[in-house]
Structure 1
Amino acid sequence: MIAEAVVSSVIEKLGDLLIHEGFFLREVCGEVEWVQKELTWMQAFLKDAETKQNDARVKKWVEDVRDIAYKAEDIIDEFIFKIEQKRRGFLGPIKKTFARHQLGKEIEKIKNQLDEISKRRSNYGIKDLCQGGEGSSSMSESLREQRRTSHLYEQTELIGFQEDIRTLVARLSEGDRRRCVISIVGMGGLGKTTLAKKVYNHDAVKKHFNCCAWIYVSQEYNVKDLLLSIMRCFMIPTEDPNVDQLRVKLFEHLMVRRYFVVVDDIWKTEAWDALAATFPDTNNGSRILLTTRNKDIATDADARCRPHELQLLREDESWELFNKKVFFQEDSHCPQYLEGLGRQIVAKCHGLPLAVVVISGLLSRKPGLLSEWEKVLKSISWQFVEGDANISPILALSYEDLPYHLKSCFLYLVAFPENYEISVEELIWFWVAEGFVHARGAETLEEVAEDCVQELIQRSLIQVVKKSFIGTIKSCRIHDLLRDLSISKAKEENFLHRDTDPLFM
């Protein structure tokens, strides 16, 4: 719950303010302490309210608390800024007194609003609605203490894809000498990109082609950026000329090579048409691999080459994937007393890999109790329709299960463009700077943030893109369906204002 994260941040800032800036606060110390204590009490209710937001009264009360916490945070930040101005000699004694007076007035307003919100909690019966919930919180705390490694559960990516990989590798390295465009087609969440990566990194493919490139297209694309991305993969030097010059230079480079290019997540035939003429056909067995949800794009790209239509997982494959995601230690499997519920949960995913891994990621962080698994089963409400990738209820269920600080970390991903390769090091800096992670024992904030990355990976809410030679995660990305969820939740929570242009390019 974002409200709890904001309140927690404000409580911490108020505590720091009272400790380090007591001299400047003087006569308003009492009011600041009152606000801190009242918010601390509200934070306790917010923990319980998290599971009750289907009640309109609770939802409205939570929104009121969140809004007042934002206001308090802005007031504190402004006052701290003015204190720094004073220390640097930018504020005289009159302006310093005025700043403290203004803080007092604003804190008084916050007090009155908090008092009103507290009364509403009792007047409308919200206090009685918010009971319990401590078990899952303590479980999350104990789980966060565990250092995790990703290699144990990355093996799950191969489940259900072995035959697809063999077929595609053969089609890429054998058959027609002409330049062929092979398309992987299927609904969102089937694993098209995961399959394409396995093929792209296959030893037989690497040996067969002189040069390989991978580009993401997505719904919003820029032709010049796509061409530059291909040229960087092929290590072609460029001084950033115009689009026509890029096309010519790339075409000439590929004329004398057997090349392989993956064009991932293409949504429009116009996007392919803008790139097609750049790839020469010199009858040397060059290949292009597209991933798309739209079969018409596959036909437009190469009518003579049948698309590779990705299928839903079989029941046994779904169960194997579920077991390896929930019980990711080597040779672990679902205990017999949970198997009946587990199979019912898997059946609700209808063989869609993304649905299986996300719900499995949620259960991997839960205690192995019948009551916990029953709650999850009852909460899965989505109805599967062939060809329909709207699995937002399952994804939302996993989001709602996150501890409040991880919700903030997850929602922050909306700041990055679709299919953007996110540097984990930079992401950690951003999370720490935003105050999403808090000190834990002797660990640094960066170490705590690294655990947050691992937690989101294990829950299958973000995906590993690159790792260092010693196994640490260097970059990650978010699936576009999960990104859609983060955008929706960020708007709902008033978490982040996002302009038309992404923050990071």
Structure 2
Amino acid sequence: MSDGHQRYRYRLNIPVKDSTVTPPSYYKAWYELRRDAVLIDEGQLVGIETPKEELIKRVLGFESELQAIAVVGMGGLGKTTLVSKVYHDDELRKEFQHHVWITVSQSFKLDEILRDIIQQLFDETKQPLPHGADSTDSSKLKRIIVDFLLGKRYLIVLDDVWHMDGWDALKYAFPESNCGSRLMLTTRSSEVASTCTNESGGMIYDLKPLSFEESWTLFCRKTFLEKPCPTRLQKICQNILKRCEGLPLAIVAIGGMLAMKDKIRIDEWEMVERSLRTELEGNDKLSGMKSILSLSFNDLPYHLKYCFLYLSIFPEDYLIERTKLIRLWIAEGFVLVKESRTVEEVGEYYFNELVNRSLIQVIEKYDDGRIRRCRVHDLLREIILRKSLDQNFMAITSEENRSLPERVRRLSAHRTLENIHPDHNFSRLRSLFLFGGGGSFCFCVFLICK
């Protein structure tokens, strides 16, 4: 690894190999929000009726084989909330003899999860735990589960499956008895969703953001407590809501923050509209949302962290050409050469991995199915933009932002170069990007740094 990459690796809080890491404080917020998602009253939800009906219909399908139903989408879309409402539906539960809900998470411990499954199965039937239920041997624990579930119809939810190792470690605990049993998963990973449904049959449910009408209903419900939005605040609120892009977690968090604002002081609302990035950093009411969205970034391997941070050079709402982005990564040295694969193929793999993790939104495809253009959700962009600035990974100059750090490594100029002082120290500048009016990409220059 180059010295430069090694320095960034420590700056980004990426542990070196064989290091011991204590889970950061944002995991506390993650667990609290996940628990709350299961407890939300359905009357408080918006846009859940149709997805719930579609999932229930599939869970209760006529297929007798064991099937997996994977709900996939970016963090904050409401996957856990939706699946919870399906799982707790009274009519659906009557069709299954046994029910288990397990949260897998990023750093799961297999023996603990298996013991939890056993505990739920035997508690539900009011039976004493069998011999060996406290074992740390995963094979023995799986055998107890398989023996219990054989010949029975069961519904098991695996919530928040991040990686293939989570699915691979658990799948053999669930026997095929041709009784119409179902596994339901929630995941941010398209790879996990595709693999589990291919191996077990079933379907992928790609959860979509709320429509603007649904978003507005939810926003007003949280912000104005079921009352209409005052006319004088409507335009400001609609502009703020657009930044949420239908993400329920963001709408609820920002609506809850705005509910504390004085409805008379329009200037306070205008300040939020202008400086949402600052609010993300400094407002405690948004810390949970930021933690959830940051989890996806923190889970990336170090080389993908650089590639994802690199997306912060583009202006807001910019449609990014896939091939151009990969070439930029290669030029920056972010794409590591691997045996038997060209650097372009490795770059393509990096790009697809970010798409699979629901970090990049596909906007346009070619006729043959290849991705042509993509973008980043506004709130994810705000998070990586802050991380980029904090780590001096890059800097942006625009009509709204005229300040530059003392030493700039990558500089992205949006619509203007007028505010760049000629005496500024650019001795460390490696890359320069210029975006013209309307966000059009004019050129980029890569400089040779000594």
Which residue does 2:420 correspond to in 1?
none
Deviation of residue 250 (structure 1)? 0.5
- Residues 1:307 and 2:221 aligned together: no
One-letter code of the match for 2:281?
A
Which residue does 1:260 correspond to in 2?
155
Question: Which residue of 349, 371, 378 corresponds with 2:274?
Answer: 378
Cα displacement string for residues 222-263 of structure 1 (whole angstroms, at most 9, x for unaligned residues): 111111111121126144122111111110111132100000
One-letter code of the match for 1:379?
S
**Residues 272, 279 of structure 2: 8 Å contact kept:** no
Which residue does 1:396 correspond to in 2?
281
Which residue does 1:342 correspond to in 2?
237
Cα displacement string for residues 25-50 of structure 1 (whole angstroms, at most 9, x for unaligned residues): xxxxxxxxxxxxxxxxxxxxxxxxxx
One-letter code of the match for 2:165?
E
One-letter code of the match for 1:280?
P
Classify the secondary structure of the residue corresponding to 1:208.
coil
Cα distance in 1 between the residues matched to 2:281 and 2:56: 36
One-letter code of the match for 2:215?
S
Which residue does 1:196 correspond to in 2?
83
Classify the secondary structure of the residue corresponding to 2:52.
helix
Which residue does 1:244 correspond to in 2?
139
- Residues 1:173 and 2:60 aligned together: yes
Deviation of residue 171 (structure 1)? 0.5
- Report the aligned-residue RMSD: 3.1
Question: Structure 2, unaligned stretches of length 5 or more?
Answer: 1-39, 124-128, 297-378, 391-450
Cα displacement string for residues 323-354 of structure 1 (whole angstroms, at most 9, x for unaligned residues): 111122xx422122211111111111111111
Cα distance in 2 between the residues matched to 1:191 and 1:308: 13
Which residue does 2:248 correspond to in 1?
353
Cα distance in 2 between the residues matched to 1:395 and 1:265: 24
Question: Which residue of 283, 291, 294 corresponds with 2:186?
Answer: 291
Which residue does 1:106 correspond to in 2?
none
Which residue does 1:182 correspond to in 2?
69
Question: Structure 1, unaligned stretches of length 5 or more?
Answer: 1-152, 382-392, 419-480, 493-505
Which residue does 2:373 correspond to in 1?
none
Cα distance in 2 between the residues matched to 1:352 and 1:169: 23
Which residue does 1:439 correspond to in 2?
none
Classify the secondary structure of the residue corresponding to 1:260.
strand
**Residues 156, 324 of structure 1: 8 Å contact kept:** no
Deviation of residue 320 (structure 1)? 0.5
Which residue does 2:227 correspond to in 1?
332
Cα displacement string for residues 428-480 of structure 1 (whole angstroms, at most 9, x for unaligned residues): xxxxxxxxxxxxxxxxxxxxxxxxxxxxxxxxxxxxxxxxxxxxxxxxxxxxx
One-letter code of the match for 1:396?
E
Deviation of residue 269 (structure 1)? 1.0
**Residues 165, 199 of structure 1: 8 Å contact kept:** yes
Aligned residues: 249
Classify the secondary structure of the residue corresponding to 1:291.
strand
- Residues 1:208 and 2:95 aligned together: yes
**Alpha-carbon spacing, 1:336–1:171, altered in 2? closer, same or farther (3 Å):** same
**Residues 68, 203 of structure 2: 8 Å contact kept:** no
- Residues 1:158 and 2:45 aligned together: yes
Cα distance in 1 between the residues matched to 2:75 and 2:203: 20
**Residues 312, 351 of structure 1: 8 Å contact kept:** yes
**Residues 214, 262 of structure 1: 8 Å contact kept:** yes
**Residues 52, 82 of structure 2: 8 Å contact kept:** yes
Question: Which residue of 206, 217, 226 corresponds with 1:320?
Answer: 217
Classify the secondary structure of the residue corresponding to 1:324.
helix
TM-score, length-scaled by structure 1: 0.46
Deviation of residue 211 (structure 1)? 1.0
Cα distance in 1 between the residues matched to 2:42 and 2:88: 15
Cα distance in 2 between the residues matched to 1:203 and 1:267: 29
Which residue does 1:276 correspond to in 2?
171
One-letter code of the match for 2:174?
F
**Alpha-carbon spacing, 1:169–1:155, altered in 2? closer, same or farther (3 Å):** closer
Cα distance in 2 between the residues matched to 1:226 and 1:173: 26
Deviation of residue 398 (structure 1)? 3.5
Cα distance in 2 between the residues matched to 1:351 and 1:263: 25
**Residues 118, 144 of structure 2: 8 Å contact kept:** no
One-letter code of the match for 1:375?
M
Which residue does 1:226 correspond to in 2?
113
**Residues 66, 179 of structure 2: 8 Å contact kept:** yes
Cα displacement string for residues 14-33 of structure 1 (whole angstroms, at most 9, x for unaligned residues): xxxxxxxxxxxxxxxxxxxx
**Residues 42, 85 of structure 2: 8 Å contact kept:** no
**Residues 178, 283 of structure 1: 8 Å contact kept:** yes
Deviation of residue 159 (structure 1)? 0.5
Deviation of residue 397 (structure 1)? 5.0
**Residues 157, 194 of structure 1: 8 Å contact kept:** no
Deviation of residue 298 (structure 1)? 1.3
TM-score, length-scaled by structure 2: 0.51
Cα displacement string for residues 402-433 of structure 1 (whole angstroms, at most 9, x for unaligned residues): 8xxxx9xx8xx99xx99xxxxxxxxxxxxxxx
Deviation of residue 156 (structure 1)? 6.4
Deviation of residue 306 (structure 1)? 2.5
**Alpha-carbon spacing, 1:342–1:156, altered in 2? closer, same or farther (3 Å):** farther
**Residues 190, 310 of structure 1: 8 Å contact kept:** yes
Cα distance in 2 between the residues matched to 1:397 and 1:314: 28
Q: Quote the sequence identity (%).
A: 35
